[in-house]
Structure 1
Amino acid sequence: MIMAPAQSLANAQCGQHVELQRMPHELHIRHRGEDWAGITNQKERKKLQNRLNKRVSRQRKRRSDYPSDCSDAASTPSPRSDALMGSTIDSLITTFSYCTKEDVGQKRAMLQRFAEQALLSFMAGDPCADHRLRLIQLNTINGFTRNARALGFGFDWLICEVLSPFGTNEQTPSSATPSSLIPTRMQLSTRHHPWLDLFPFPKLRDNLLLANAIMPPEDEQRLYDDIMESGGSRSEWAGLVVWGEPWDPQSWEISLPFLQRWGWLISDCPEIITSTNYWRNQRGERPIANPNWIEELSD
């Protein structure tokens, strides 16, 4: 945190309220230990600066790659509504790259505003194709949020700085918790972010915890982005899709891009392949065999 020294000192001496401002780089910090301010070791400071610079670069690329507008033949929107819709979609691309307790409510409101705009487009008889990926994202976020409620979380799981109450001995599952969400022994003994508790696949949750312990922060960020934001893709969803009740394993489908990049995480998770194949069959698509799906994807 930084202040203008003279003005800040004067305000403090007068007993006035002093508003602290974030340093620009703090907006992109996702993990403790990533703040280079105050680091005197030149090598370590440079390493942290490079990490944040790469993160900012990826976010800018995603914003430039994704179209921020779409045509509406059914009606002629006002310039103000065009700007609103464009800014909403553009902001969604990096909505969950960094969430603090202070701004998570605003970002959820942004998602709600997008949902309302997409509904208006649909009701006008001219749904925008560019909305499809964002709607999948919205359903995924809402699905995880419902699972968080089913687990009895009294906080917003999107906040980056919170810890799971299961890994800190602060909470035990209630008798009303769906069986698919009951925490494993590893969840109860490992400190972790609560987003890992929200998948209705116990083995996948354990695999994610193990991976989280060995992956560098860049890979962890990439995994989170793929699941929550489709990795910034504008043409194909690269994460998970939820089609029904989020606590039901049969409601989930894993996309092929996710399998190609993160398939090793679903080792010993045949129920995910089963549910994915169910939804692929609904669309008349070829099922994915297990364990030979990797070879099939390259056919």
Structure 2
Amino acid sequence: MSSHFIPIQLMPQQANAGPHDDWTGISDPKARKRIQDRVHQRNRRQRCKAKATHSWRPANECCYIPTTSATTQLLPCDNSNELQPSGSPLYAGNVVQKAPQMQPLDLNSFTACEPDSPRTEWFIVQFSANAHQNFLHGSPRADMLINLIQFNTTRALVMNARLMGVTREFMTAESRSQLSLESVHAAFHNALPPSLTPTNLQLTVSHHPWIDILPFPEIRDNLLRRDESSYNKMELCRDLRGFQAVTNNCGGMIVWGDPWDLRAWEVTEAFVLKWPWVIKDSHELLESTRYWRTVRGEPDLAQLE
């Protein structure tokens, strides 16, 4: 008799689905699609956790060059320590093969909006290799050093997006963060470094996912407390990555190590002057900035006191 029983099991698509994620009895297509998207996003985060288990180490780690100049200390290495396994379409070996079809390297086209795209991975690999070769030949031009800072900051955001499970389909201009009290479970929190753990505001206030990949909880909350229409998000993003002149100087954020490590970030004076409310109460960023400026023999920023 028992051989006639059919075991009831979850469909593969329902892996990691909670009690509020059962769409099988919902007839409304939009509501069902919304739940499925939420489960899909959670599954992707779990896969990202598995890929990065026991090692918060991104692709193309940074080499630290012992000099006294802030602009010459950070240089991307040309290595194959990729976050994705060799079978992944993002694997560097697969991406480089597409190089002839790619456009020339242009930092303006390199953003965190497509963290999982072959174009993004190809750019990271190629730019890192070019910068490494320039360093080995002792020919790092001044403009290249500025580009390195911009590149490393953008790459840091890309790596954080991958850890968060954020894909290009969730980074369109109209996208809203999938984080909510109902969708985020303990397993997701445990899979993230503390700096990227969502705050209560992230779980309760509707916002664009780009805020989620910033590693400073205070900065994320400062942005969420502001009306989105009260500031230019695109301008802020470009300023943060150092792609716009702010207060008669080029400045933004500088990343000296792991993108999720708060101690690896530094904010420039130009950014502080233009966006003081963004970094308000971000004490760890200010302490980290003070440390890096001290290493270079530079005084504290008066605006940070």
Query: Smaller-chain TM-score range?
Result: 0.5 to 0.7
Cα offsets for 1:77-129 (capped at 9, x unmatched)? xxxxxxx9xx745x3225449x579x954254234322222222222221222
1:155 counterpart letter in structure 2: T
Report Cα offsets for 1:149-175 as digits up to 9, x if no partner: 333x15247554543221485444331
1:281 maps to 2:284:
no
Alpha-carbon contact 1:93-1:229 (below 8 Å) kept:
no
* Contact 1:225–1:232 (8 Å) recurs in 2: no
Q: 1:220-235 counterparts in 2 under 5 A?
A: 220-231=233-244
2:132 counterpart SS class? helix
Structure 2 length-normalised TM: 0.57
Q: Equivalent of 2:218, from 193, 198, 203? A: 203
What residue in structure 1 maps to residue 90 of structure 2?
A: none
Instruction: Indicate conservation of the 8 Å contact 2:240/2:253, yes or no.
Output: yes
Higher helix share: 1
Once residues 111 and 236 of structure 1 are traced to their aligned partners in structure 2, the CA distance between those partners, rounded to angstroms, is 26
Cα distance change of structure 1 residues 134 and 158 upon mapping to structure 2, 3 Å threshold: farther
1:238 equivalenced with 2:251 (yes/no): yes
Measured against aligned partners, the alpha-carbon deviations of 1:1-51 in whole angstroms (never above 9, x if no partner) come to: xxxxxxxxxxxxxxxxxxxxxxxxxxxxxxxxxxxxxxxxxxxxxxxxxxx
The structure 2 residue matched to 1:179, chosen from 194, 208, 225, is 194
What aligned pairs does 1:8-87 form with structure 2 within 5 A after superposition? none
* Alpha-carbon distance change, 245 to 208 in structure 1, aligned in 2, over 3 angstroms: same
For the 8 Å contact 2:111–2:154, the answer to whether it is kept is no
* One-letter amino acid of the structure 2 residue matched with residue 252 of structure 1: W
Identity, % of aligned positions: 34
Unaligned runs of 5+ in 1: 1-83
Aligned to 1:129: 142
Query: Separation in 1 of the partners of 2:208 and 2:267?
Result: 21
Contact 1:163 1:194 in 2 (8 A): yes
Cα deviation, residue 176, structure 1: 2.8
Deviations 1:255-294 (A, max 9, x none): 11100100122222222211110000010000135xxx27
Q: Deviations over 1:166-214 (max 9, x none)?
A: 1485444331322222111110012222221122221111001223534
> Offset at 1:248?
1.8
Residue 168 to residue 227, structure 1, CA distance change in 2 (3 Å):
farther
**Aligned pairs, how many?**
200
Contact kept, 8 Å, 1:168 with 1:191, in 2: the verdict is no
- Which runs of 5 or more residues in structure 2 are unaligned? 1-99
Write the distance in 1 (CA, Å) between the matches of 2:209 and 2:191. 19
Compute the TM-score of the two structures, normalised by the length of structure 1: 0.58
RMSD between aligned alpha carbons? 3.1
